[in-house]
Amino acid sequence: MKFLSILGSTGSIGRSTLQVVEALRERFAVAGLSAGRNVEHLTDQVQRFRPEVVSVADEKAAKELEGRLASMDRRARPTILHGTEGAVAVATHPRAQTVISGLSGGLGLVPTYRGIEAGKDIALANKETLVMAGAIMTDLARRKGVHLLPVDSEHNAILQCLQGVSRDQVKRFILTASGGPFLKTPVEELENVSPEEALAHPTWKMGKKITIDSATLMNKGLEVIEASWLFGASPDEIHILIHPQSIVHSLVEMVDGSVMAQMGITDMRLAIQYALTYPERLETRLPPLSLSRVRQLEFYEPDLAKFPCIHLAYEALRIGGTMPAVLNAADEVAVSAFVDEKIRFTDIPRVVRRVMQNHQALQLFDLETLLEVDTRARQQAAEMIQHQFASVF
């Protein structure tokens, strides 16, 4: 039996992970769950999976959870914690062997770091962790001998394509992107798109932050940075292809010109299960992929002028050091301002670019310095939004 701790258990990744656990009860059990404020759903998860420790965003949510679990048998009731320290306790719980890092955004960084430090294997969905601190995370993982297994479907696909392949046989990594809801929207109309339109992803159902990032294609940019750390690839070795059907999850081009692709239905449980059972493959009850139903697989080069976030992410990766963390921090603040209707969709890359221009990247830094840089970049982005992008709605 493998014990898991799930960070972000009430989110899209967390819920899919628990469905995988439910389907493979004879293999997996839950040691800890960490969530934010959806106490109602967390209560249900606690009753079904009986973790030993749970954590929520703050004291108020912890009190509410305590109340909801009061009728549970005292011996089955978990320890209830909150805040970053609570999430860290979940990630480092002695029973947990693997941590599913499924918090959204920079929130995931510290608990994931502490999980690696405690020697836990990491099934990584929270790409922001590697975007912000790829050098620190991969170095710590190497020293601790833990596996960093990608859950992101593109990186999980590459991991699958790389089985039996050595790094020197690979020429390029090709990440596919659905293109998001605005693939066919004329560039001059992007300025006026609403958060509702941006949140209507054509192929995947995900949390808000990643859905908006998919609409700006910043998500693909973040994935380029994630891939560079996971697979030791330079920016020139990572390519993006728009693939609206989201059936080919990514590809690896070999030095002899052969291209390996991994295909599957658009369901994150496939990638999550592979990360949890790696290198084994187990049956699932998911519907099979029917290529004859899909019929058409299309691929295009991305329109870099229409989606400037891709260029910003490559630039941050080339500059390196603390710049990707600044890109990520500014993006998180800008995405949240767009969802709150404080800025336009097209202001997101503008905010990110300006915050990056104000930052002199440090090449040598520790986690503490990185967190300071992250806080400063968030403050700058927030001030910029308030003063330079006054409400447009």
Ligand X SMILES: NC(=O)c1ccc[n+]([C@@H]2O[C@H](COP(=O)([O-])OP(=O)(O)OC[C@H]3O[C@@H](n4cnc5c(N)ncnc54)[C@H](OP(=O)(O)O)[C@@H]3O)[C@@H](O)[C@H]2O)c1
Which residues would be at the binding site for ligand X (CB under 6 A)? 8-14, 35-38, 57, 102-104, 107, 125-128, 152, 204, 206-208, 210, 268
Query: Based on CB atoms, which residue is closest to ligand X, 121 or 152?
Result: 152
Buried b / exposed e over 339-359, threshold 16 CB at 10 Å, is beebbbbbbbbbbbbbbbeeb
Please say which residue, 33 or 384, places its beta carbon nearer to ligand X.
33
Q: How far is the CB of 55 from ligand X (least distance, A)?
A: 7
Q: What share of the chain is helix, strand, coil (3-state, %, to 5)?
A: 50, 15, 35
Q: Say if strands 259-263 and 248-254 run parallel, antiparallel, or are unpaired.
A: antiparallel
Q: Alpha helices of the chain — where are they, by DSSP H?
A: 12-23, 39-49, 59-68, 83-91, 109-117, 127-144, 153-161, 195-198, 208-216, 218-231, 268-277, 291-294, 308-319, 323-339, 347-357, 367-388
- For ligand X, the closer of residues 109 and 323 by Cβ is 109
Cis peptide before 279 (omega within 30 of 0): yes
Instruction: Considering the complex, state which of residue 151 and residue 384 has its C-beta at the smaller distance from ligand X.
Output: 151
Q: Which of residues 112 and 322 has its CB atom nearest to ligand X in the complex?
A: 112
Q: How far is the CB of 7 from ligand X (least distance, A)?
A: 8
Give phi and psi for 129, each to the nearest 5: -55, -45
At its nearest, how many Å lie between ligand X and the CB of residue 107?
Answer: 6
Q: Return the DSSP state at 27.
A: T
- For residue 223, the minimal CB distance to ligand X (Å) is 9
> Least distance from C-beta 154 to ligand X, angstroms?
8
Q: Which residue is nearest to ligand X (CB)?
A: 11
